[in-house]
Amino acid sequence: MTKIIDGKAISAQIKNELKEEVAKSGLKATLAVIQVGKDPASSVYVGNKKKACEYIGVGSASYELPEETKQEELLKLIDDLNADDSINGILVQLPLPDYIDEKTVINRISPSKDVDGFHPESVGNLCIGQEGFVSCTPAGIIELIKRSGISIEGKECVVIGRSNIVGKPMALLLLANNGTVTVCHSRTKDLKEICKRADILVVAIGRPRMITAEYVKEGATVIDVGIHRTDDGKLCGDVDFDNVKDIAGAITPVPGGVGPMTIAMLMVNLIKAAKLVK
Ligand code: GUN
């Protein structure tokens, strides 16, 4: 029987663990959440991040900046929040408007408050196996795999996608957990053959239902990072779930798989940041 990995349940478990820890320890923490403009999808994500803070018993401070905000103003706000001892984590919701340089903004966040794990210092720490903040989606995927009782050590792991937010940190995390890791991308030749070798296949390509049973080894763990709205208004992932579910040993659904984990891991990072200053 294929195991359906329940990201909603696992993320709820993590948030409950944090809620209990906060209640018991009396730890205080506040997340600063910055949104530039009013992109509706970003507003939903930002709202959910603030709700998660409330749920686990920590604070959030919201900065909703107008679309026409100048880069310098955003950088000044980040400087102020970096210097503010009452703020433990700073999150700038992406994407930013075109005229603002994402790299400059990310680099300005103090590495000690980088709860998204996007700062080059955080990425560098991950790369050389030092303690630091890890990008939330790939960190959440590791939790999904481990809490489902699946071991990574010695496994053939294939990651499709090489973005800074998912693919690259995912590969580094699987490697840190002693997996044998291959990273594939849009120029990869023989994608099917490489995927077919995987014991653990992480798919972050951004193309609806592209991965079918032909790409999957019998019994493999299949993790789907994609989320798309189909013409009939339903949500689907990068993996053709119905086609793959009988061949996979374990698989994440969309919705309810990887998605809910990102915010749970953001809360893990926020608590970690608060402990740094305790
Ligand atoms: N936009 C989409 N995903 C994310 C995320 O994990 N963090 C931030 N800051 N922006 C995002």
What radius of gyration do the chain's Cα atoms show? 19
Per the annotation, the verdict on 130 as an active-site residue is no
What's the predicted TM-score (pTM) here? Answer: 0.97
pLDDT band for position 29 (50/70/90)? very high
- pLDDT at res. 143: 98
- pLDDT at res. 247: 98
Q: What is the mean pLDDT of residues 220-243?
A: 97
Question: How far is Cα 260 from Cα 11, in angstroms, rounded to an integer?
Answer: 6
pLDDT in tens, 253-267: 999 999 999 999 999
> Identity (one letter) of the amino acid at 41?
A
- Residue with CA closest to ligand 1 atom 2: 94
Q: Ligand 1 centroid vs 135 CA: distance in angstroms?
A: 9
**% residues pLDDT > 70 (the chain):** 100
Q: Is 136-259 in the same CATH topology as 27-112?
A: yes
Q: What is the mean pLDDT of residues 204-233?
A: 97
Out of 6, 15, 35, 49, the active site residue is 49
Question: How far is Cα 258 from Cα 121, in angstroms, rounded to an integer?
Answer: 25
Q: What is the mean pLDDT of residues 216-236?
A: 97
CATH match of 27-112 with 3.40.50.10860:
yes
Of 208, 261, 271, 211, which Cα lies nearest the Cα of 237? 208
pLDDT at 66 over 90: yes
pLDDT in tens, 72-127: 999 999 999 999 999 999 999 999 999 999 999 999 999 999 999 999 999 999 99
What is the chain's mean pLDDT, rounded?
Answer: 98
114 CB under 6 A from ligand 1? Answer: no
Per the annotation, the verdict on 70 as an active-site residue is no
Question: How far is Cα 219 from Cα 260, in angstroms, rounded to an integer?
Answer: 24
DSSP 123-190: HHHHHTT-S----HHHHHHHHHHHHTT---TT-EEEEE---TTTHHHHHHHHHHTT-EEEEE-TT-SS
Per the annotation, the verdict on 101 as an active-site residue is no
Q: What is the mean pLDDT of residues 137-160?
A: 98
Q: What is the mean pLDDT of residues 183-200?
A: 98
pLDDT at 278 over 70: no
- Residue with CA closest to ligand 1 atom 3: 94
Q: Ligand 1 centroid vs 182 CA: distance in angstroms?
A: 25
- The domains of the chain are located at 27-112, 136-259
Residues 24, 267: contact at Cβ < 8 Å?
A: no
- pLDDT at res. 248: 98
pLDDT in tens, 2-17: 999 999 999 999 999 9
Q: What is the mean pLDDT of residues 50-78?
A: 98
136 CB under 6 A from ligand 1? Answer: yes
CATH of domain 136-259: 3.40.50.720
